[in-house]
Structure 1
Amino acid sequence: MKNPLDKIISWYFTKNTLPYWCVLIADSLFVFLSGIFTFWTFRKTAVLFDFRFAVLYTMLIYTAFAIIGFRVFRTYSGIVRYSSFVDLMRVGYGSLLSMVIALIYSVIAEKYVCCIAILSQTETVVTFCVATLLMWAGRVMVKNLYDVMVSDKRAMRVLIYGALSGGIGLAKYINSQNPKKFLLQGFISHDKQAKHMLLMGKQVYNINDNLEDIITQKHIDAVLISPLRIDDFRNNQQIQDMLIKVGCKIYMTQQAKEINPNEDELDEDSFHSMQLKEVSVEDLLPRQEIVVDMASVGALLKDKRVLITGSAGSIGSEMVRQVAVYKPAKMMLIDQAETPEHDIRLMMEKEFPDVKAETVVTSICKEDRMEQIFRDFKPDYVFHAAAYKHVPMMENNPSEAVQNNIYGTKVIADLSVKYGVKKFVMVSTDKAVNPTNVMGCSKRICEIYVQSLGKTTDKTQFITTRFGNVLGSNGSVIPLFREQIKNGGPVTVTDPRIVRFFMLIPEACKLVLEAGTKGHGGEIFVFDMGQPVKIADLAQRMIALSGAKGVKIEYTGLRAGEKLYEEVLNELEGTKPSFHKKIRIAEVREYDYEEVSKEINELIATSKQYDDMATVKKMKEIVPEYKSNNSVYEVLDK
């Protein structure tokens, strides 16, 4: 049961605000009592009793002067529980004005009516200083009481990573939340000079301090990462491992708009468009934020007719969203997976109702259907993301890999030339480089075909984009590991040495769009994927972040066609710079279209016999660098 004080406090804070006259009366009372207290301090009790009426008259007049200062600076207009530094400054200015008026009055009055100016000038100054301190203290106390009252009992004790780099704005934001979800306990700074400083009344710790002990001693539940320090935190694996080890949660901001990395500070309002969320392993992978000039991309796509194959896949669906933002004249979205394509239709109707979009369930291998679509739709841009991508599946089904990936690409590319498409952009993979599996080789043959085709025409520019794994894509290791951890393990990793490159799906799609719209034709654009990630380390981190106990890692051995290390260039290729520092242009061997076309037609014909060995043998003839790894097709390399 609540005690009377708790009931009063609870009643007060359930009110919206106090009426302004209540604040004005309270401040006036502070001034009145401060004068009496000051006089008593300077003159002692006996003198105060003898001159009690003169003191009362003087303080009534001084209180009236104080009300003038309060009125001029509107010290009573703020909501006390939300008092800020600005509110305290207004109180100070109001008191200063009142004190000046009182001093002028005391100089005049002591010559004529000293009985109503009993306080000396020193006592007058002290009176208003004490009153100011009391008014400040009252506001701070109410604010602190309110903070305690509205704090969720489950609010987490937190440190902010990045004291002077967005950290202050983040601290103000979490302090303004109602109810409070986080209780600020301090800052972590990279500035050596900031060590042992206080910010907002909280200790600043240096990044080189023994943070593990500090977190343990202060019972820290979580660390919040300033938006301006996210890249630095992602690349500091040591502090990540320490936080995971001590069981400290990590929160990052998901912002609605891109933040300029050159900013020194963010104000509190900047955080209202953001959402603090607990990190997943994807957030912690070492990489740098990729900034793309999407405005120039959008200008090229606006009012154009855009066709996207594989529109329901991981890459294709994100490209649909990013293209739709720029109001193309119409979109043609093609995928053979019915349910995911239906989801894309619903997404377009909900999020982009003003964009005309047609969703078609069909295969890119149906040449007559594709012909009809190109003839009726007449696309300006084609983004070709449709492909079979799972390495083990294609290793067991090479004929399907040829017919879908290679023949399907040939159909779309040929129709793009026939119907005057401005640009054809193909999504390829790092597995096409020195391929060791059927899937990678099929994509390399697609690259060869579209590049050679592009040299035969001036009407259509053919552009290829090549990158590695995208985080969270369908069938990737992260969703698989997450499900395995949820089920109690084991987490299956093929080999302790295996490494992969990773990129966020939205970032990959932005680079595809920029490369596609700004390329001049014939290029194979290679994306800078950042640092490679060891899959075993990734699995260990996911287990640690999940908090699951007893989950083991099991090594199952390399799958058929799988590499230990992916590449984005083969040993005979070099690169040259492009319009974006994260995009390079591969200098690859060029092929004669007539020869390539003849070889591919033979390959397609062979695939229809469904003789796996014969199909793969023909693929190896077209791509001599294709050497099978851990596969039944290794016999063809001898």
Structure 2
Amino acid sequence: MSILNKLSHWYFSKDALPYWCVFIFDCLVVIFSGLTCYTLDHGAEMTSDNFMPIVGTLSFYLIFYIIGFRAMHTYSGVMRYTSFSDISRIAMGNFIGVTIIAILRQFFNFDDWFVPIRMRELASTFVLSTVIMWTARMIVKYMFEYYRMDQAAKPAFIYGVKNGGTSIARAINTEETRQFRLYGFISDAEDMVGKELMGIKVYRNDSNIVNKMTELNVKTLLISPLKQKALANNPVMADQLIEAGISILIMNTTTEWDGKSDISTNQLKEIEIEDLLPRDEIQTDLKAVGDMLRGKSIMITGSAGSIGSEIARQVAEFMPERIVMIDQAETPQHDMRLFMKKTYPHIKSETIVTSICNQSRMETLFKMYKPDYLFHAAAYKHVPMMEDNPCEAIQNNVNGTRIIADLSVKYGVKKFVMISTDKAVNPTNVMGCSKRICEIYVQSLDKAIKNNSKNGVTQFVTTRFGNVLGSNGSVIPLFKEQIKNGGPLTVTHPDIFRYFMLIPEACKLVLEAGTKGHGGEIFVFDMGAPVKIADLARRMIKLSGANNIDIKYTGLRDGEKLYEEVLNDQEITKPTFNKKIKIATVREYDFNKVKNMIDILIAESYKYDDMKTVTEMKKIVPEYKSNHSKYEVLDTEK
């Protein structure tokens, strides 16, 4: 018995009962099919008279079918999960069996030993047994699906009929505990409309599709990864779905899909407002970035912030020799320390807690680590805070930038990439103006190096863009918190618009612009279409499913403007190596003149007289006109 067990385990590889059941069933089907075909050829009386010898003969022939079963593993598939590949293996396994019999009959006269069975009967047996095996498996599959249908499973549509949509559908059909019942596909392709896919009807994506889903009591829409962009760029459809209370599920952004494998429903998540903001796909030349950063010493200021931390993550992918991360926020900087140690243990990373305004400390760091590239993301960025604290805005943003820019020249940094903001264009607030002054300083310094009035090799590149989704203190996390607390959602003005971009997308553009720039440029990112904040708030309320949450208009904050600009009125743009990146043609400044004016400004900031400090800022940036601010009075003074 032990030998038999070992033999069976070696032969079948599985000793579980279901595999034996499938195997025995297939063997009985072959014998039954043989008896049926013999009867049809010779008559029932002859079959009855020779029943046992015929069964013995078919049992002998069954040995060769078993070889085919083994070769194609026809019994290893679970019948309730039968797929096309299982069906094809059955046909091939039976074909192998009947082919072996046909070949052996050429060398051995089996008719002398067993009941004579003609080749046409054997061929008919192959066909009939294959059909019965196919049919049995499909019946089991559909019976299993019918009886296991969980009444709690949610009726759902799938948007997308190509690989992404069908992979979700296949995953739904093979789940042990089904979460969704598929009622239809939605297609943008006219040639698919009205057809059936996997037995499910395909509907046209038009203005009536939401009504059709409502008629069928479908409250869930699963989005193919290939259709997520289409949904984001179709606000009418998105709004109709949200208004109808239909849950929208998309593939989790943390999950990579190879475009072929099935997508488990566990990989899907409820859509968030960030996923519905219209934007074009951003392509970047990361190979060129990697070639430039690989093996180099990289310094990142503001590394604990939204932009700086993402730059650190992306830079780490290019295998630099070292990453030096600088920030004065201890706790988030500690988080970055732990992240780098866990995720990139093979890369030397230094997490330094200090201020970029600490000149002696910064000089020590430059001397110690000799950075090849520097990404400058450190800045005070909150408009209302800086409106109340202009002296600190100058000391941190302007003086801090000047310190590390000068040190970059002194210690031979190849490229200095400064992160600026759209608020620096025609600034209406202290924060935006402080960043514009930073732009002016590094540009004039770059010009001075190029015309040999100052010794150095550093190229200074500025990148300018708007709001990034999910950054610290931005509007979307604020709205989420307000919804969680029962509202209201606070919007400063019914007609206020803002540009948005994903943090990883913005940082990829920063890396490409920074590494490909030659110095002196202000790179402007195409932020896509601006978003009306009031509409954003309404969408988030609908998406949350919360009731009785209002929107409260609080009035523009100090220094805030309705519509952020990316370019100054006197500026134009030129195309670059990337269609999403443009170069702003801006006024040029004399470095010595700028340096003297900034010296005066910084000295004034340490007297902590807000009005005098802002007055000096306006001298450097004459287009700075205060808005909803106590500093408006300075614009009327002669």
CA distance in 1, matches of 2:561, 2:420: 17
Provide the residue aligned with 1:373 in structure 2. 365
Give yes or no for contact 1:17–1:79 (8 Å, CA) kept in 2.
no
**How does 1:218-257 map onto structure 2 within 5 Å?**
218-254=216-252
Between 494-503 and 20-29, report the one with greater CA deviation. 20-29
Give yes or no for contact 1:159–1:223 (8 Å, CA) kept in 2.
yes
What code does the residue aligned with 1:313 have? G
Q: CA shift at 1:134, angstroms?
A: 2.4
Q: CA shift at 1:124, angstroms?
A: 6.7
Give yes or no for contact 2:35–2:54 (8 Å, CA) kept in 1.
no
Paired residues, what number?
614
Q: CA shift at 1:460, angstroms?
A: 0.1
Q: CA shift at 1:116, angstroms?
A: 4.3
Q: CA shift at 1:230, angstroms?
A: 1.9
* 2:261 maps to which of 264, 268, 271: 268
- Secondary structure of the residue aligned to 1:456 is helix
CA distance in 2, matches of 1:42, 1:157: 51
Q: CA shift at 1:160, angstroms?
A: 2.1
- Secondary structure of the residue aligned to 1:139 is helix
CA distance in 2, matches of 1:528, 1:16: 62
* 2:349 maps to which of 335, 345, 357: 357
1:383 paired with 2:383, answer no
- Secondary structure of the residue aligned to 1:268 is coil
Provide the residue aligned with 2:438 in structure 1. 446
| Runs (5+) with no aligned partner, structure 1 | 1-14, 261-265
Q: CA shift at 1:610, angstroms?
A: 1.5
Q: CA shift at 1:409, angstroms?
A: 0.6
CA distance in 2, matches of 1:214, 1:98: 51
Provide the residue aligned with 2:562 in structure 1. 564
Q: CA shift at 1:80, angstroms?
A: 2.2
CA distance in 2, matches of 1:214, 1:48: 57
Give yes or no for contact 2:168–2:265 (8 Å, CA) kept in 1.
no
* 1:422 maps to which of 389, 414, 417: 414
CA distance in 2, matches of 1:96, 1:208: 48
Residues 137, 479 of structure 1: alpha-carbon distance in 2 compared, 3 angstrom cutoff: same
CA distance in 2, matches of 1:502, 1:437: 20
The root-mean-square deviation of aligned C-alpha atoms, in Å, is 3.2
Provide the residue aligned with 1:10 in structure 2. none
TM-score normalised by L of structure 2: 0.88
Residues 104, 56 of structure 1: alpha-carbon distance in 2 compared, 3 angstrom cutoff: farther
1:48 paired with 2:39, answer no
Provide the residue aligned with 1:4 in structure 2. none
CA distance in 1, matches of 2:335, 2:234: 38
1:92 paired with 2:85, answer no
What code does the residue aligned with 1:628 have? S
Residues 519, 149 of structure 1: alpha-carbon distance in 2 compared, 3 angstrom cutoff: farther
What code does the residue aligned with 1:634 have? E
Provide the residue aligned with 1:83 in structure 2. 82
Q: CA shift at 1:450, angstroms?
A: 0.4
Q: CA shift at 1:514, angstroms?
A: 1.1
1:289 paired with 2:281, answer yes
Give yes or no for contact 1:469–1:501 (8 Å, CA) kept in 2.
yes
1:71 paired with 2:67, answer yes
C-alpha deviations, 1:144-182, integer Å up to 9, x for none? 455568777654433221102532233334444454444
What code does the residue aligned with 1:232 have? A
Residues 191, 615 of structure 1: alpha-carbon distance in 2 compared, 3 angstrom cutoff: same
C-alpha deviations, 1:107-138, integer Å up to 9, x for none? 9x9xx89x9468995x7766554432321122
**How does 1:69-468 map onto structure 2 within 5 Å?**
69-72=65-68, 73-81=71-79, 82-96=81-95, 116=115, 121=120, 128-144=126-142, 154-208=152-206, 210-254=208-252, 266-268=259-261, 271=263, 275-457=267-449, 458-468=456-466
Residues 222, 257 of structure 1: alpha-carbon distance in 2 compared, 3 angstrom cutoff: closer
C-alpha deviations, 1:24-49, integer Å up to 9, x for none? 32012123334556778899xxx636
Residues 16, 145 of structure 1: alpha-carbon distance in 2 compared, 3 angstrom cutoff: farther
Give yes or no for contact 2:393–2:434 (8 Å, CA) kept in 1.
yes
What code does the residue aligned with 2:377 have? A
- Secondary structure of the residue aligned to 1:632 is coil
CA distance in 2, matches of 1:273, 1:294: 32
C-alpha deviations, 1:14-72, integer Å up to 9, x for none? x99546543232012123334556778899xxx63674234664465446545524523
* 1:511 maps to which of 509, 512, 521: 509
C-alpha deviations, 1:362-398, integer Å up to 9, x for none? 1111112111211222111111101010111111111
Give yes or no for contact 1:394–1:439 (8 Å, CA) kept in 2.
yes
- Secondary structure of the residue aligned to 2:350 is strand
- Secondary structure of the residue aligned to 2:631 is helix
Q: CA shift at 1:328, angstroms?
A: 1.8
CA distance in 2, matches of 1:153, 1:276: 21
C-alpha deviations, 1:214-268, integer Å up to 9, x for none? 32244334222222222112101122122212222222223568779xxxxx311
**How does 1:484-633 map onto structure 2 within 5 Å?**
484-633=482-631
Between 427-436 and 368-377, report the one with greater CA deviation. 368-377
Give yes or no for contact 2:31–2:62 (8 Å, CA) kept in 1.
no
TM-score normalised by L of structure 1: 0.88
C-alpha deviations, 1:68-89, integer Å up to 9, x for none? 2452353534322443211101
Residues 76, 567 of structure 1: alpha-carbon distance in 2 compared, 3 angstrom cutoff: same
Residues 148, 273 of structure 1: alpha-carbon distance in 2 compared, 3 angstrom cutoff: closer
Give yes or no for contact 2:34–2:125 (8 Å, CA) kept in 1.
yes
